Structure 1
Amino acid sequence: MPDTNDKSPLDHDISTHIFTTSAAMVGVCITVIGILRVIIAIRQADLIEDDMFAVNAMLYLVTCLMSYWSLRTRSVRRLHRLERISDTLFLVSLAMTTVNAGFLTWALSAH
């Protein structure tokens, strides 16, 4: 029977998923910013959503770096701490992406 106190394999797996997903989400945010800049240029109206997605991309980048650091660390205590931080930051970033999408939808439909 596996030892229930050994969290290293699970943490390593979660860190890998957070690392790859947050890196992909940085790309998604950058793509949205590019599309928004085109819309802003065509409509000649300034939107705050491109700034919000830029902050969102930076949060995903910090999440990505924290999960990468947790993959590279040898200390189990540091691994768990970094894992917790990157997990929390990922959920905050994901919630911010949802809020940004809502703001973007309402801003574009209002014009």
Structure 2
Amino acid sequence: MSGRDDRALREERLLERLMSTSSTMTGVCVALLSVVQLIADSRKVQTLADDALAIDSLFFLLCCYLSIWALRTQRRERTRLLAVAVDYLFLIGMTGLVVIGFMIVYTIF
């Protein structure tokens, strides 16, 4: 197997993992959104965390869509471009989730 084929196979595996993980993280964000909403309503507190979680779930959902597109496309250059976009969106989403976690802890609890 050539270096180019090996790199393409590695990129495909990474896209598959990121697609799976992103779909899971979308569900986590939606579940946390409902929990934060329940806690905030019971304590009569308004937070930005619920809005941030909704936006963060969209980052992960977009990551899923772009991963599927990248895996389905036949153009190698488009696959590389989409893979880079997926990487950045996933990192932004994960960073956002950590920031939201701190927001929840310091605002609600």
Alignment TM class, shorter chain as reference: over 0.9
CA distance in 2, matches of 1:4, 1:88: 24
CA distance in 2, matches of 1:27, 1:60: 9
Number of residue equivalences? 108
SS in 1 for 2:77: helix
Q: Which amino acid aligns with 1:76?
A: R
CA distance in 2, matches of 1:73, 1:23: 20
CA distance in 1, matches of 2:96, 2:47: 17
In structure 2, runs of 5+ residues without a counterpart are none
CA distance in 1, matches of 2:74, 2:59: 25
1:3 equivalent in structure 2: 2
2:69 equivalent in structure 1: 69
Instruction: Give the Å deviation of 1:3.
Output: 2.1
Contact 2:40/2:108, CA 8 A, preserved across alignment: no
Confirm whether residue 84 of structure 1 aligns to residue 92 of structure 2.
Answer: no
1:52 equivalent in structure 2: 52
Please report the RMSD computed on the Cα atoms of aligned residues, expressed in angstroms.
Answer: 1.0
CA distance in 2, matches of 1:5, 1:75: 14
TM-score under structure 1 length normalisation: 0.92
Instruction: Give the Å deviation of 1:8.
Output: 1.3
TM-score under structure 2 length normalisation: 0.93
In structure 1, runs of 5+ residues without a counterpart are none
